[in-house]
Structure 1
Amino acid sequence: MEAETTTAPKPLHAVVFPIPLQGHVIPAVNLAIRLATKGFTITFVNTQLIHHQITKSLPNPNTTQNDIDDEVVDIFSGAREAGLDIRYRTVSDGFPLSFNRMLNHDQYLREGHMGVLPIHMDELVRELVESADPTVSVLIADTFFGWQSNIAKKYDLVSVSFWTEPAIVFSLYYHLDLLKVNGHYGAFHDNREDIIDYIPGVKAIEPNDLPSYLQELDVSTIMHGVINNAFEGVKRADMILCNTVHELEFEPISTIQKRQPMYAIGPLISSGSTNSLVPMSIKPVSSCTQWLNSKLPNSVLYISFGSFVLCGKKDIDEIAYGLLLSKVNFIWVLRPNVVSYAEPYVLPNGFEDEIKDRGLIVTWTNQIEVISHYAIGGFLTHCGWNSVLESLWYGIPMLCFPLMTDQLTNRKLLVDDWRNGVNLCDKKPVNRFEVAEKIDHLMCGKSTKELRERTTKVKQMMKNGLTLDGSSEKNLSRFISDVKIKISDRSIM
């Protein structure tokens, strides 16, 4: 009698597609790696522009950057060598690489993000559904792709919306209709200053703590169209993944879960091993380690305002003068396009001579490598969510200088709710004397120890979430189980 043979079930195959911005690509790569370690097959998709930027930023001692043929570079080859089944594809957003998407932002959003890109993504998903082995069964795409649930439905895939910002911001966008009805959105809000206390899962919030797009009077812009489409689309998604920790934001998460399945699986933080597996930086990186090694513990302020949001020139000048007055050691990630996509920013005359060996200015660096160094004692940040999570993960208190979008709400979480940070300036405009005072307060003031102790508590909460019995790990397992049930149910129908 022949022995019975059983065929092992094929792994789940998910397509992962992030918004083509540095702050969205990083958590998406980390999500892909997390899922692949759980047995998923992943096809990760970047736009051709992001792929080009990453490959041109790769360090290669044997070639010049212009010699690198980015068509043959597979950024996930290291992950596959480590045993993870992560495949890689790219799609065109409809514009040549030379097209400046930042200078022509509205055109890019209208013709690319909402026009050509979904068409090209539809074609790629169809190809993968027809030919990939194992069969594609899940589409995980950034929430701001409002069209992703339509593509998933077309090919009978489980639709997963991936939210890369805090749950409180998700809830504010999700309940946009309530802001409209109550006169806190659009031309009807007339700069109202009364407290908003009617958003489910959100404690009373000041209007100036809303994401910047929800504060604008003109809501007829293409960006507001993107937001409206995104949050109509997300309500058709089967599931929502959120890069946060349940214990930090249980109220907005619990409220959304009454409407749709939401899983808090964060923080999706890069580590040294992740960076070695998959390059993610869209800019060439300068190492700061040797310089940091010469500094005392907790003596260096790290400064970065993210990868693309613009700052006012006067604000940057005042911050520079404030640094001079403070006498603190610092590393400043200062992009040439920090104040304009058309013209490079120039520091005040004599600034670099004044700072000498106590200040290091770079155009880009490996942020994890820097803030995990023992010499870093504080982070002057724009409050981008990746920066917030990374800073908390390493127990670094923050000096908050939010610029736009979710950063304004993130500041509220850090300063008012969790008390892991302080405002750079309590009132605008930015003033060099207040900047110097706040830097001293963060780095060596009377309350510095207390601030670090509170940050350490949040750090431990986050780390607990990623243990085997932690909330984020359990939520990821529950998500995978629910995906399998959803696929099984569809195969029966």
Structure 2
Amino acid sequence: MTKFEVVFITTPAIGQLVPIVEFAHHLINCDPRFSITILIVTLPQRPLVNTYVQSCVATSASTNINFVHLPPVDLPSPDQFQSSIGCLSLFAERHKPHVKQAITNLMATESDLDLDLDRRLVGFFIDLFTTSMIDVANELDIPCYLYFQSTAAFLGFMIHLPILDTQLTTGLAELDTELVIPSFVNPVPPSVLPSVVLEKDGYSFFLQNARRYLEPHALNSVSTSQVPPVYPIGPVLDLTGSAQWHPDRAQHERIMRWLDDQPPSTVVFLCFGSMGGVSGSQVREIAFGLELAGVRFVWALPEPPKAQFGLSDDYMSLEKVLPNGFLERTSKIGLVCGWVSQVSILAHKAIGGFISHCGWNSILESLWYGIPIATCPIYAEQQINAFQMVKELGLAIEIRLDYREGSDLVLANEVERGINCLMDYDNEVRKKVKEISKKSRVAMMENGSSYVSLKALIQELVL
């Protein structure tokens, strides 16, 4: 009998790790001959990641998924980078010796197992910011695959970036013309590009990762035939797990009880991700906009991260950041809380709209449950996700496409207008989102497009 081993490594962030774990489950459920080893990079600034991993380990005995913690390494010193992506890329690079040793140990262990059982290491999956691990795969002669936890359009941007770089005579931040990117139908304004590519240091590290996506394929004239095979297997979602490892179960249960008492599709949910937080002045504008709109709401309002690579934390006192009297004036129609199990709330029948930072996991969850989005991006690739959802696909309401730290505030009247459009039950966006919800579920069924693509990937791995 032959068993197939696959190794994963990912950036230590909830948005990257959760899809990897869920993909591992999909792989094993589709073909039980597979077993998975996930290499865990530890970042002390992100305790929520550690909590999630601990919950996975506790339930992994019966799943053929093994979690291996890599030895800790120090973050690079500030004189080596000027951007978060630079730091993360260098941090990943420092793990290469430990990753090589962990995989070597795994291969040695497999060779010592039952001789009647043929165990083969058939693939090493990296993510969009751990491309330095391609070197490890090459040294060990293991096929390497990129698990891209974002949109196909954004992957197209990354693949096109090395070509674009040869055409630029100025930095992307200085461009005053829209960009023609093959994976987008419409020209893309520079204002919706990720913040890191608008910075010199961030751009260089982004470009460095993008170039590695295509190795050893030619970069000077990328065509469809030169891009490695792409297997679209999504949506990959954790539809139940987050409620199980929620750090504040009492708060979660209180929110769910409150939602149970609300009429169907009447509540707006506001949430800006595990690393998302907005300034105090922006919080007040959102609060005033909610009051103007007068809708029922649940607002997950964490404090912005206090340190680089830190996660948002709950405010010690919501009264200090919200407008005077806001909590009292809205006590009958709304809840303001800290970190929440987002997918559990989106699944609730009372939710009718979602004001989101447009992280790709959040978009997939909202589409799965047929909940329309109003866009308020903050960081990473969220601006270009918002652009795609509004301008390319017509699946979201625009509050702002290009908001980011340091930009002009999203004003209360913009929030009010966005909420009113979002909660218009006859708008075309809502109808399209309901259609996409059905299609996303069909895609995951046996013989659906994602299922067929996953089977094709498995065939690639085992051969």
| TM class, shorter-length | 0.7 to 0.9
Cα displacement string for residues 383-429 of structure 1 (whole angstroms, at most 9, x for unaligned residues): 00000010001000011011232111111221112212111147853
Query: Which position in structure 1 is the counterpart of 2:381?
Result: 406
Check conservation: 2:157, 2:183, Cα contact below 8 A: no
CA 1:265/1:404 → structure 2, altered by over 3 Å: closer, same or farther?
Answer: same
Matched, 1:78 2:59: yes
Q: Name which of 298, 315, 339 aligns with 1:364.
A: 339
Check conservation: 1:210, 1:409, Cα contact below 8 A: yes
* Segment of structure 1 superposing worse, 335-344 or 457-466: 335-344
Q: What is the CA distance between 1:209 and its match in structure 2? A: 5.7
- The one-letter amino acid of 2:273's match is G
CA 1:107/1:257 → structure 2, altered by over 3 Å: closer, same or farther?
Answer: closer
* Segment of structure 1 superposing worse, 393-402 or 410-419: 410-419
Query: Which position in structure 2 is the counterpart of 1:317?
Result: 284
CA 1:284/1:15 → structure 2, altered by over 3 Å: closer, same or farther?
Answer: farther
CA 1:257/1:404 → structure 2, altered by over 3 Å: closer, same or farther?
Answer: farther
CA 1:178/1:234 → structure 2, altered by over 3 Å: closer, same or farther?
Answer: closer
Aligned-partner Cα distance in 1 for 2:418–2:18:
30
Check conservation: 1:425, 1:435, Cα contact below 8 A: no
Cα displacement string for residues 271-305 of structure 1 (whole angstroms, at most 9, x for unaligned residues): 22x558xx666x54531211100100001101111
Matched, 1:113 2:92: yes
Matched, 1:196 2:179: yes
Query: Which position in structure 2 is the counterpart of 1:451?
Result: 429
Q: What is the CA distance between 1:86 and its match in structure 2? A: 0.8
Q: CA RMSD in A?
A: 3.2
CA 1:482/1:137 → structure 2, altered by over 3 Å: closer, same or farther?
Answer: closer
- The one-letter amino acid of 1:295's match is Q
Cα displacement string for residues 92-120 of structure 1 (whole angstroms, at most 9, x for unaligned residues): 44139xxxxxx995784365233x22232
Aligned-partner Cα distance in 2 for 1:455–1:380:
14
Q: Name which of 272, 284, 304 aligns with 1:337.
A: 304
* Counterpart mapping for 1:45-444 below 5 A: 45-49=39-43, 53-54=47-48, 57=51, 73=54, 75-81=56-62, 84-95=63-74, 105=84, 108-109=87-88, 112-114=91-93, 116-132=94-110, 134-183=119-168, 186=171, 190-193=174-177, 195-197=178-180, 199-208=181-190, 210-213=192-195, 216=198, 218-219=199-200, 221=201, 223-236=202-215, 258-272=226-240, 274-275=241-242, 284=248, 286-287=251-252, 288-337=255-304, 346-425=321-400, 428-443=408-423
Aligned-partner Cα distance in 2 for 1:213–1:185:
16
- The one-letter amino acid of 1:373's match is H
Q: Secondary structure at the match of 1:433?
A: helix
Gaps of 5+ in 2: 76-81, 114-118, 403-407
Q: Secondary structure at the match of 1:204?
A: coil
Query: Which position in structure 2 is the counterpart of 1:100?
Result: none
Aligned-partner Cα distance in 2 for 1:306–1:191:
30
Q: Secondary structure at the match of 1:205?
A: coil
TM-score (norm. length: structure 1): 0.79
CA 1:340/1:435 → structure 2, altered by over 3 Å: closer, same or farther?
Answer: farther
Q: Secondary structure at the match of 1:75?
A: helix
Q: What is the CA distance between 1:212 and its match in structure 2? A: 1.8
- The one-letter amino acid of 2:98's match is H
Check conservation: 2:300, 2:338, Cα contact below 8 A: yes
Aligned-partner Cα distance in 2 for 1:110–1:417:
31
Matched, 1:15 2:7: yes
CA 1:35/1:446 → structure 2, altered by over 3 Å: closer, same or farther?
Answer: closer
Gaps of 5+ in 1: 1-7, 59-69, 97-102, 239-253, 486-493
CA 1:113/1:432 → structure 2, altered by over 3 Å: closer, same or farther?
Answer: same
Q: Report how many aligned residue pairs link the two structures.
A: 430
